[in-house]
Copies of this chain bind each other. A is one copy, B any other.
C-alpha cells in the first residue's frame, strides 16, 4: 500500500478514509480522502472529485452526502487536497485565491512554484497510479466544483482517453477571462498569456478538444461568482458553435455552496456510474 491511513469512519456500510502519500509530481506529502463502497474487493472504477478555492480533502466528503449513492456500487471516490502546502514559498498563504488551497490544477512554470505546484501531473499521473495499483481501479471519471470544476473539465478534456465521463458544479470555464484565473495563471505560468490557453476549457474546445460522452454542468443562478468569474455562457456558446455535447442545467435560487452541491450530487454520481459500467 503506497499511502498511509490517518483516520477511518464506517459510512453507509462502506468506509470514509483520510489518507496521505508522497507525491512524485509535487515532491510533497499530499492528503486525500476516499470513500470505499461496502464491497471493497469488487471496486472497479473511481470518480475523482476536485474541490474549489480554500478547500481541503475534507469539504466534499463531509458535506456533499455522496457516500449514500456509492455505497452499494463498484465505484469509489477520491478527493485530493487542492494544492501542496507548507512549502515556505513567500506569499504562499497570503490570499485565498492563490498558493495554498488554490493550485488551479496546472503544472506551474514560474520560479517560486515550479518545483512543487505540479498539480496537473499529480491528478493525471500520481492519483491514477494510486487508484490502479492500490485499489485495482481500471476506469476513471472526473468531476469538481468551481476551481475544481475548471480542473475536471480541463483535465478531462486534455486526457480524454483516460476519463470516461466529466462533470462539474459551478466551474470556472474560462479562467483566462476572469480575475481569479488571470491572477492564478499569471502567478503559476508567468505573464505570457499564450501559455495559459492550454489550461483553459474554452480555449481547449476552440482548439478542437472533444469528449466521447456528454459533459454535465450544474450552475446555480444565485451563485455570486456566476456573472464575473465562472462565465458559464462562454463555454455554452462555444460548445454549441463547435458541436461539443455539453448539458448545462441552470438552477434557480441555488448559490455556490455545498448546499447546492448536496442537492444535485446524486444526479452527477448517477451520470458517472452510467459511463463507468
Q: Which of B9, B68, B220 is within 8 Å of A260, CB to CB?
A: B9
Closest CB in chain B relative to A37 CB, distance in Å = 13
- B222 and A262 contact, CB distance less than 8 A: no
Residues of B contacting A121 with CB < 8 Å?
A: none
**Mask for A1-28, Cβ within 8 A of B = 1, else 0?**
0000000011111001000000000000
Which residue of chain B lies nearest to A263 when distances are taken between CB atoms in the complex? B12
Once the chains are docked, how many angstroms separate the CA of A16 from the CA of B220?
15
- B63 and A10 contact, CB distance less than 8 A: no
- Is A103 among interface residues, defined by CB-CB distance under 8 A? no
Sort A-B residue pairs by CB-CB distance and give the 9 closest, nearest first: A9-B259, A65-B65, A10-B253, A11-B259, A12-B263, A10-B254, A9-B257, A16-B259, A62-B63
Q: Which of B10, B62, B262 is within 8 Å of A11, CB to CB?
A: B262
**Mask for A64-93, Cβ within 8 A of B = 1, else 0?**
010110000000000000000000000000
Residues of B contacting A220 with CB < 8 Å?
A: 10
Once the chains are docked, how many angstroms separate the CA of A262 from the CA of B65?
8
Q: Which of B10, B222, B259, B260 is within 8 Å of A255, CB to CB?
A: B10
- A10 and B262 contact, CB distance less than 8 A: no
Interface centre among A222, A254, A259 (most CB of B within 10 A): A259
Closest CB in chain B relative to A56 CB, distance in Å = 15
Residues of B contacting A135 with CB < 8 Å?
A: none
- Is A258 among interface residues, defined by CB-CB distance under 8 A? yes
Closest CB in chain B relative to A67 CB, distance in Å = 7
Closest CB in chain B relative to A269 CB, distance in Å = 13
Number of interface residues of A (CB under 8 A): 22
- A260 and B10 contact, CB distance less than 8 A: yes
Give 25 pairs: A residue, B residue, CB < 8 Å, sorted on A. A9-B255, A9-B257, A9-B259, A10-B220, A10-B222, A10-B254, A10-B255, A10-B260, A10-B263, A11-B259, A11-B262, A11-B263, A12-B262, A12-B263, A13-B263, A16-B259, A62-B62, A62-B258, A63-B63, A65-B65, A65-B68, A65-B262, A67-B262, A67-B263, A68-B262
Once the chains are docked, how many angstroms separate the CA of A255 from the CA of B10?
7
Residues of B contacting A12 with CB < 8 Å?
A: 262-263
Once the chains are docked, how many angstroms separate the CA of A263 from the CA of B259?
18
Residues of B contacting A222 with CB < 8 Å?
A: 10
Once the chains are docked, how many angstroms separate the CA of A259 from the CA of B34?
13
Interface centre among A13, A16, A65 (most CB of B within 10 A): A65
